[in-house]
Each structure stands twice: as structure tokens, then as C-alpha cells.
A = this chain, B = another copy of it.
Amino acid sequence: MSDYFRNTVIKKLNNGDFDCTKEFTVSMFSGKHKLLILWILINNGPQGFSYFKKNLKGISKKVLSNQLNELIDDQIIFKQDFFTGKVRHTEYQLTAVGKSLIPIIVALNDWGENRLKQVMLVKKFNSDL
């Protein structure tokens, strides 16, 4: 992702540069895994750290941690801790702000699925020649 980019946008906002709405919006989504994380939360409900680790194939703990923290900073998700004895379990959930993204994320996902089908059809057609 782009911590640098996010920080740049945050600085701009703090300096009263309101002319960066689009950059702001992009900064909310930049990060390879954020859409996946949100998708999981939308479809499977609140989940813990290890659930994401298992389901986001190939993601490292560091990157996952970064992405989750950025989403928390942006108030799109929040975290709760539970203890079983000394063992900590966590649960990440969508905030109200995060929930307001659901229609967009669903639309984005639908678009991606349809587009992927198109791409695959073209590929198949070409290989059938």
C-alpha cells in the first residue's frame, strides 16, 4: 500500500487543502487487501486476526496488521479484544462508516466478477482458434 500516500493526504487535509477529495477517497481504498478484508467482514461478519491471515492468501502478519490499523485509523472498522485466561482473541468489525461502504463494495465486486467473465471468455475464444 502506500503509507506515504496516506500520510500525504492527511497532511494536506491538516493544512486546509480541501482540494483533494478524490485523493482522500482513493487513500481509503489503497492497499491490495482492504477490499478483501471488507468483503470478508461484510459476508462473514466480525472476524479475528488469524481468520484474515488464513483467508488472505499469502499476506504477511505485518502487512495484515498495517492494513487493519489503517482501516481503524480511517474509522472504517474497529477492534475489540477478548481474553480466555491469558490468551487474547480479537474481533474486527465494521463501523457505521464502514457499513456505509457496503453498497459500493458490492457494486465493485459485481463489476469485477462480470469483467473477469468477459476477460475469460475472450481468452477462451482465442485459445479455441
A11 to B96, CA, bound (A): 37
Residue from B23, B26, B28, B115 in contact with A115 in the complex, judged by beta carbons closer than 8 Å: B28
Return the CB mask of A91-105 against B: 1 if under 8 Å, else 0: 000000100110110
Q: Please tell me if the beta carbons of A100 and B109 are within 8 angstroms of each other in the complex.
A: no
Copies of the chain in the assembly: 2
Q: Please tell me if the beta carbons of B32 and A23 are within 8 angstroms of each other in the complex.
A: yes
Q: Residues of B contacting A18 with CB < 8 Å? A: 116, 120
Q: Please tell me if the beta carbons of B36 and A116 are within 8 angstroms of each other in the complex.
A: no
Interface residues of A in 34-64 (CB under 8 A from B): 35-36, 39
Q: Does A21 contact B (CB under 8 A)?
A: yes
**A/B interface sample: 17 pairs, CB < 8 A:** A5-B32, A13-B119, A13-B123, A18-B116, A18-B120, A21-B116, A22-B35, A22-B36, A22-B109, A24-B115, A26-B32, A26-B36, A28-B112, A30-B30, A97-B115, A100-B111, A104-B111
Taking Cβ atoms with an 8 Å cutoff, the residues of A that contact B are: 2, 5, 13, 18, 21-26, 28-30, 32, 35-36, 39, 97, 100-101, 103-104, 107-109, 111-113, 115-116, 118-120, 123
